C-alpha cells in the first residue's frame, strides 16, 4: 500500500526505480531530474526526515550512508574527479521530499554552492 512518501514507495517497490546500490541501512537511485551528469540519491531505508529529530539509533544510519557515497562515487568513476554531497533540510533549502536523502553530484564541473 502506498505510504504517501515517494522514497518509501520506491523502497517498497510500489514506485518503480532501479536500485543502483544497497547496504543494510540505505539504497541508491538515480535522480529523476539530474542536476549533474551523475546525480544519485542515497536514501535511508527507514523513514526519517529532519536531522534535528533523529534518535541516537537514527544517527548510526550515517555510517552506511557515507559508505554508500564512497562505493557509488567509485562505481560511477567520480571519486578522483571530485563530487559534491548535499542534504536539503526544510523549506529554505528547497527540500521537496520529506524523507532524508543525500544528493551525490559529479561527472562535470559543478556550480558554486549557494
Ligand atoms: P530534495 O529537493 O532535496 O528533496 O530532492 C528531492 C529529489 O528527488 C529531487 O532532486 C527530485 O528530482 C528527486 N525525485 C523526485 N521523485 C523522484 C523519483 N521518483 N525518482 C528519483 N528521483 C526523484
Ligand atoms: Zn519515506
Counting ligands in written order, which one lies closest to the CA of residue 15?
1
- CB-hemisphere CA count at 13 Å for 34? 13
| Minimum CA distance residue for ligand 1 atom 17 | 32
Whether residue 14 has its Cβ less than 6 Å from ligand 1: no
Query: 56-76 pLDDT, tens per residue?
Result: 999 999 999 999 999 999 999
Counting ligands in written order, which one lies closest to the CA of residue 45?
2
pLDDT band at 2 (very low <50, low <70, confident <90, very high): confident
The CATH class, in words, for 6-106 is alpha beta
Q: State the closest ligand 1 atom to the C-alpha of 15, by its place in the atom list counted from 1.
A: 19
Q: DSSP letters of the chain?
A: ---S-HHHHHHTTSS-----EE-SSEEEEE-SS-SSSEEEEEEESS----GGG--HHHHHHHHHHHHHHHHHHHHTT-TTT-EEEE---SGGGT--SSS--EEEEESSPPPPP-
Query: 5-58 pLDDT, tens per residue?
Result: 999 999 999 999 999 999 999 999 999 999 999 999 999 999 999 999 999 999
Amino acid at each position: 500500500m502506498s505510504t504517501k512518501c515517494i522514497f518509501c514507495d520506491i523502497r517498497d517497490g510500489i514506485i518503480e526505480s532501479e536500485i543502483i546500490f544497497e547496504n543494510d541501512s540505505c539504497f541508491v537511485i538515480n535522480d529523476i531530474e539530474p542536476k549533474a551528469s551523475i546525480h544519485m540519491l542515497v536514501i535511508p531505508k527507514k523513514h526519517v526526515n529532519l536531522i534535528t529529530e533523529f534518535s541516537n539509533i537514527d544517527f548510526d544510519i550515517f555510517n552506511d550512508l557515507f559508505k554508500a557515497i564512497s562505493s557509488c562515487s567509485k562505481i560511477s568513476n567520480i571519486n578522483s574527479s571530485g563530487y559534491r554531497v548535499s542534504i536539503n533540510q526544510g523549506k529554505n533549502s528547497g527540500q521537496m521530499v520529506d524523507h532524508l536523502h543525500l544528493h551525490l553530484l559529479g561527472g562535470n564541473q559543478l556550480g558554486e554552492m549557494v
